[in-house]
Amino acid sequence: MPSIAAQPYEYELPSDSQVALIVIDMQRDFLELGGFGEALGNDVKLAQAIVPTVKQLLEGCRSLHLPIFHTQEGHLPDLSDCPQSKLKRGKGNLTIGDQGKLGRILILGEPGNAIIPELAPLPGEVLIPKPGKGAFYNTDLEMQLINRNVTHLLIAGVTTEVCVQTTMREANDRGYECLLVEDATESYFPQFKQATLEMVRAQGGIVGWTANTEAVLQGLRSWKAGE
């Protein structure tokens, strides 16, 4: 059976369903100076560093005609979909809804909430606005996956230990076979990224698999060639 060289063991590719790529929250608010990531005191250059690799992964999956999903964390302008517990976080910094250098922080439609231009969705790709950290919470992602007969998910984006890991765990609980692309995800804290990679593939892949972009694309090309 076609597979991707991964940890903790080979990630088998399906013979009768589809593989999709989900790119998590590659937004200006998290990657650029003046956004929410920097407002929280983080070095956004760490997250920026993966952009070329995410683009390589994205273009590779596009060339193979895989379903592609982009998520975008954000809230309605009146914040009616944002719980008070989330609004109160990060005392001493700009918080959700405040006016920042890139517009109102984490508000749908504001300049800072947009996906960075290098990774912008193309026509036919699905953009999933999400009010929470996980991509399945209060969104139609699961129905979109079901409609496309998707059973296997490749996951990339930021940040590894928060929105990426949350989405992967949500997907795992729903029966999806998940692979986290190691060099196409990043955290503001390198030790958090490493810990997440180890957690998801521990105990025989209790949450899923990990592999780098080169291995992922090589495996996908062989899989598609054999169809």
DSSP 163: I
**Residue 220 to residue 89: CA distance in whole angstroms:** 41
Residue 43 annotated as catalytic: no
Task: Tell me which residue has tokens 């800072």.
Answer: 112
Q: Which of 25, 61, 82, 133 is catalytic?
A: 25
Q: Is 163 a catalytic residue?
A: yes
Torsion region of 45: left, alpha or beta (phi above 0 gives left; psi -120 to 50 gives alpha): alpha
Q: Which residue has the tokens 């025989």?
A: 204
**Which residues are bridge partners to 211 per DSSP?**
181
* 153 within 8 A of 176, measured Cβ to Cβ: yes
Q: Angle at Cα 163 formed by Cα 26 and Cα 75, nearest 5°?
A: 75
Among the options 130, 178, 183, 193, which is catalytic?
Answer: 130
| Of 63, 50, 5, 43, the residue nearest 23 (C-alpha) | 50
Closest CA to 209 of 187, 185, 182: 182
Residue 134 neighbours by CB distance under 10 Å: 22
Q: Which of 163, 178, 183, 193 is catalytic?
A: 163
> How far is the CA of 164 from the CAs of 65, 70, 71, 171, 224, in angstroms?
23, 12, 10, 11, 26
Q: Which residues are catalytic?
A: 25, 130, 163
